[in-house]
Amino acid sequence: AKTINWGRYDKIPRHIEDHLDKHLKQISQTAYDFAIDKNIHFIILGGNQEIIPKIRKHLHYPLNKMVLGEFVTQLNIPLNEVLIHSKKIATKINQRLAGAKRETRQMIR
C-alpha cells in the first residue's frame, strides 16, 4: 500500500481553513447581492460559536454594520427552530430600536 506524505502537520488544517474562507466569501457575496436592494433594517447571525465571528468578519459593508443579533446553535437544526430563535432576537432588537427612537424624540423637544 502506498502511503501519502502530507508534509507538515499544519498543512491539512490550513487547507481546511482556506476552503472555509473561500466558502464564507461566497456566502458573504450572496448575502450582499440579495440584501443590497431590499429594505433590511438589521441582520441576525446564527451558527456555532466558532463560525459566527468568521461570518461577521467576511460580511461586506454595509451588511457588517447591520448585524444587531446572533444566536449559537447546532448545525442542521430544523428551519422552524431558526425562525423561533430569530423571532425572539428580532423582537428584542425592535424593542431596543423603538426605545432609542423615543429617547431621541424626547431629546429633540
Of the two residues 15 and 9, the one the predictor is more confident about is 15
Question: What's the maximum distance between 2 C-alpha atoms anywhere in the chain?
Answer: 82
Torsion of CA 45, 46, 49, 55, to 10 degrees: -40
Does the pTM exceed 0.95? no
The yes or no reply on domain 11-108 and CATH 3.30.420.60 is yes
Element (H, E) at 67: strand 67-72
Taking only the tens place, the pLDDT of each residue in 53-106 is: 999 999 999 999 999 999 999 989 999 999 999 999 999 999 998 988 888 877
pLDDT, residue 3, reads 64
